[in-house]
């Protein structure tokens, strides 16, 4: 175990050990003690097996007391309905995270073995997983360490026998109603008969795939572009299809770090937006994917409309919905033609303020300079081919009467432009996700 910990950079100085009382977690506890660690032990009592569950807790309590270890029992409420196993798993890790923070633990240690890796890989393969799913259970991730991950279940049992260490047996681990149990007791034995060492070979293949996956993910993460509050995936012509898929998962995980990565179908649907002008897709956890010009695809967090902010004539910077607005004083004479012609720049008569900054709304109208009449703001943006999902995320500058003086990146209101009567002027420069 010490070699595994060194290889993967596991900090076992003060681990929080998840111990159920079964052979794997009991071996984990004894192995941690064997390398000089003094773990805090957490036993999660789900109460699913009545008296047997209570006996498991008492076994772990007695084991910890015999070694003078800190010990906690927690009993989560799992509720009713389908997905009990997954809810129980999530509850264990949630409680472990809470106790680890309270105890100042260096890591959360679990008793996963190479056999668990092989089972996970085969299950994911049958489900149609990609390279990340086929890389199995990571040795270290999100504050969780698995020091026994390179050891087989047979080695764990031999280790416990050599120590003369008892452990608990959960009879539900043999029930065929759980897919992992059937794979463990029916599928893997057949593979071992056909190909001796099959479980270890599958686990080794997972290690190799994990290295490949980490390399691809690193390359993909570097390819993701930041633009305002968006994470942008390059178009197909600039990045290999495999890297684009990894880039979508990387961007999504940055925006929703606690959510499960999107599945292959969701990733493919996201990338297909690059071929649809104005297309958008709502992803789980409040993430939006949308097409951008040139075949790019952008991901961002869906946010409620922000309250209006006061726009002062004093120099400064305002931020709204991924946009940055720089405010500076300007000369009262006519605006420099080259600068004023830039769509991201506007010169306003400061005397017609005070101005506010808010997002565009249905019904907003602007009188574009030189048009000689009014035009709906959302229509104006559509004519400029602003992607549909961005139109309501584009700021507008309005006066005290809520008249639109400027649409960021676009139309300047004719009545707010600099003129002969201007005594104070303000220059605005906006940069957003486009």
CA 408 to CA 389: how far, in whole Å?
Answer: 15
Rounded to an integer, the average pLDDT of 39-67 is 84
Nearest by Cα to 144 from 105, 113, 117 = 105
Q: Is the pLDDT at 80 greater than 70, yes or no?
A: no
Q: Per the structure block, which two tokens stand in for 280? A: 């958008």
Report DSSP state, residue 290. Answer: E
Peptide bond into 166 cis (omega under 30): no
For the segment 193-220, what is each residue's pLDDT rounded down to a tens digit?
999 989 889 999 999 999 998 899 999 9
**Cα 416 to Cα 294, 308, 373, 411, distances in angstroms:** 34, 19, 14, 11
Q: What is the pLDDT of residue 93?
A: 85
Instruction: Please report the pLDDT score of residue 376 as a whole number.
Output: 94
In the prediction, which pLDDT does 43 show?
92
If residue 427 lies in a helix (H) or strand (E), which one and from where to where? strand 425-431
CB contact at 8 A, 268 and 281? no
pLDDT in tens, 264-313: 889 999 999 988 877 889 998 889 999 998 899 999 988 765 556 777 65
**Average pLDDT of the segment spanning 2-23:** 90
Residue 79 has pLDDT above 90, yes or no: no
Identify whether the C-beta of residue 299 lies closer than 8 Å to the C-beta of residue 289. yes
Could you report the per-residue pLDDT of 161-174, keeping only the tens digit for each? 999 999 988 777 76
Q: How many residues does the chain have?
A: 434
Kindly state the average pLDDT of the residues 312-328. 83
Residue 50 has pLDDT above 70, yes or no: no
Angle at 16 between CA 160 and CA 60, to 5 degrees: 45
Q: What is the pTM of this model?
A: 0.65
Whether pLDDT at 82 is above 60 = no
- Reported as type and span, the H/E element at residue 80 is none
The string of pLDDT tens digits covering residues 137-160 is: 889 988 899 999 999 999 999 999
Distance CA 220, CA 224 (A): 7
Q: Which two tokens stand for residue 319?
A: 């931020």
**pLDDT at residue 313, rounded to an integer:** 59
Indicate the helix (H) or strand (E) that contains 18: strand 15-18
Q: Which pLDDT band, with edges at 50, 70 and 90, does 69 fall under?
A: very high
259 pLDDT band, cuts 50/70/90, is confident
Asked if 120 and 137 count as a contact pair (C-beta separation under 8 A), the reply is: yes
Q: What's the CA gap between 64 and 74, in Å, rounded?
A: 15
- pLDDT interval class at 84 (50, 70, 90): low
| pLDDT more than 70, % of the chain | 94
pLDDT of residue 270: 94
> Is the model's pLDDT at 234 over the cut of 90?
yes
pLDDT at 113: 93
Average per-residue pLDDT in the chain? 88
Residue 269: enclosing H or E segment and its boundaries?
Answer: helix 264-272
Map out the domains of the chain with their CATH numbers.
2-207 (3.40.50.620), 224-301 (3.30.465), 309-431 (no CATH)
């Amino acid at each position: 175990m010490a070699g595994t910990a060194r290889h993967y950079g596991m900090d076992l100085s003060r681990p929080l050990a998840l111990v159920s009382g079964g052979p794997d977690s009991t071996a984990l506890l004894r192995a941690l003690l064997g390398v000089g660690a003094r773990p805090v032990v957490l036993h999660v009592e789900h109460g699913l097996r009545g008296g047997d569950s209570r006996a498991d807790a008492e076994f772990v309590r007695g084991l910890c007391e015999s070694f003078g270890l800190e010990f906690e029992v927690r009993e989560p409420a799992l509720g009713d309905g389908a997905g009990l196993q997954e809810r129980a798993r999530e509850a264990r890790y949630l409680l472990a995270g809470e106790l680890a923070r309270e105890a100042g633990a260096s890591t959360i240690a679990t008793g996963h073995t190479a056999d668990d890796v092989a089972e996970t890989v085969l299950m994911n393969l049958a489900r149609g997983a990609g390279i990340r799913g086929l890389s199995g259970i990571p040795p270290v991730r999100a504050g969780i360490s698995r020091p026994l991950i390179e050891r087989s279940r047979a080695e764990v049992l031999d280790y416990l026998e050599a120590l003369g260490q008892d452990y608990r047996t959960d009879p539900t681990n043999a029930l065929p109603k759980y897919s992992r149990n059937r794979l463990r007791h029916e599928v893997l034995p057949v593979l071992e008969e056909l190909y001796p060492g099959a479980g270890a070979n599958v686990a080794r293949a997972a290690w190799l795939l994990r290295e490949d996956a980490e390399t691809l993910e690193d390359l993909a993460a570097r390819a993701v572009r930041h633009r305002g509050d968006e994470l942008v995936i390059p178009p197909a012509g600039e990045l290999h299809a495999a890297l684009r898929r990894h880039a979508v998962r990387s961007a999504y995980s940055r925006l929703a770090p606690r959510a499960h990565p999107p599945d292959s179908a969701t990733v493919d649907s996201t990338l297909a937006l690059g071929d649809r002008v104005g297309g958008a897709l709502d992803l789980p956890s409040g993430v939006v994917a949308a097409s951008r010009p040139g075949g790019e695809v952008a991901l961002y967090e869906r946010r409620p409309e922000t309250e209006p902010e006061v726009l002062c004539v004093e120099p400064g910077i305002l931020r709204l919905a991924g946009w940055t607005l720089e405010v500076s004083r300007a000369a009262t004479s006519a605006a420099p033609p080259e600068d004023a012609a830039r769509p991201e720049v506007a010169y306003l008569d400061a005397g017609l303020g005070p101005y506010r900054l808010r997002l565009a709304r249905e019904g907003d109208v602007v009188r574009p300079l030189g048009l000689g009449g009014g035009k709906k703001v959302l229509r104006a943006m559509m004519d400029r081919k602003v992607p549909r999902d961005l139109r309501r995320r584009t700021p507008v500058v309005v006066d005290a009467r809520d008249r639109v003086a400027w649409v960021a990146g676009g139309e300047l209101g004719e009545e707010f432009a600099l003129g002969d009567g201007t005594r104070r002027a303000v220059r605005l420069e906006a940069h957003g996700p486009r």
